[in-house]
Structure 1
Amino acid sequence: MNAKFVLLLVVVASAAAQRRPYAYRAPESSEESYESSEAKYNFNWAVSDDSSSNEFGHQEARDGDHTQGSYYVQLPDGRLQTVKYFVDGDSGYVAEVSYEGEARYPDSYESFESREYRPPRPVYG
């Protein structure tokens, strides 16, 4: 029995001694260049919910380093906010923000919603 245990111990020690230590290697260079995989896409989506009068959407197109797009959202005060933007190479993100309509704020006395917190009433059934 001791001989089997010693033999097993020798095999395990031999396997552990043959393990190669982990070494970091720099990534191998690829034949593909960055230029050959230029990004190119175009998308557009929009949502219009009549029950809540909520409208929003987004459009964007990209060809290589040049990106242009816009998005819009219906604000709670009734205005439509539109953002037009572009990115051209290293110029960074350049945006132009505009608003359509006039801001309307409900009179606090005419509002059906109260700003005070009230805990919910218990329901027993």
Structure 2
Amino acid sequence: MSLKVVLLTMLVCVASTTSHPSGGYSPMPFEFAYAVKDVYSGNDYAHEQKSDGVLTSGSYRVTLPDGRTEIVTFDADDANGYVADVNYEGEASNPVYSPSSPYHLPVSFYSPP
């Protein structure tokens, strides 16, 4: 029984020190970006984001299956929360499926010795 009490007390102490950010915690400024464009698979997306420690802002884009590109620009902070502006580029279309065109794997540049 005493082991359960000790474990529960330790769990409460750890939770109370790590779950609330006001105990000397201050957000760090950061900045990052990445992009992927793979013509073979059709993957085309990117994300960039930066923060001064108070306001976080950025954008991301992704090519949708219907051919359009979705672009989301956002700001986030403690006062306003996450505020996003969503836009689309291009026209939506249904891809034509042709069972006569089989899926082909990419040509390998590796040849065994």
What range is the shorter-chain TM-score in?
A: 0.5 to 0.7
Q: Any stretches of 5+ residues in structure 2 without a counterpart?
A: 18-22, 100-113
Rg comparison, structure with higher value: 1
Q: Which residue of 1 aligns with 2:60?
A: 71
Cα deviation for residue 24 of structure 1 reads 4.4
Secondary structure of residue in 1 paired with 2:93? coil
Q: Which residue of 2 aligns with 1:46?
A: 35
Instruction: Give the ranges of 4+ consecutive aligned residues of structure 1 lying more than 2 Å apart after TM superposition.
Output: 21-28
Secondary structure of residue in 1 paired with 2:79? helix
Q: Which residue of 2 aligns with 1:99?
A: 88
Secondary structure of residue in 2 paired with 1:57? strand
- Coordinate RMSD, CA, aligned: 2.5
Matched pairs, number: 85
Specify the code of the residue in structure 2 equivalent to 1:112.
Answer: S
Identity %: 40
Q: Any stretches of 5+ residues in structure 1 without a counterpart?
A: 1-20, 114-125
Specify the code of the residue in structure 1 equivalent to 2:56.
Answer: T
Cα deviation for residue 105 of structure 1 reads 0.8
Specify the code of the residue in structure 2 equivalent to 1:94.
Answer: V
Secondary structure of residue in 1 paired with 2:60? strand
Q: Does 1:58 align with 2:57?
A: no
Write the distance in 2 (CA, Å) between the matches of 1:63 and 1:47. 26
Write the distance in 2 (CA, Å) between the matches of 1:24 and 1:49. 52
Q: Does 1:112 align with 2:103?
A: no
Write the distance in 2 (CA, Å) between the matches of 1:46 and 1:24. 46
Cα deviation for residue 63 of structure 1 reads 1.2
Query: What is the TM-score normalised by the length of structure 1?
Result: 0.58
Q: Does 1:82 align with 2:71?
A: yes
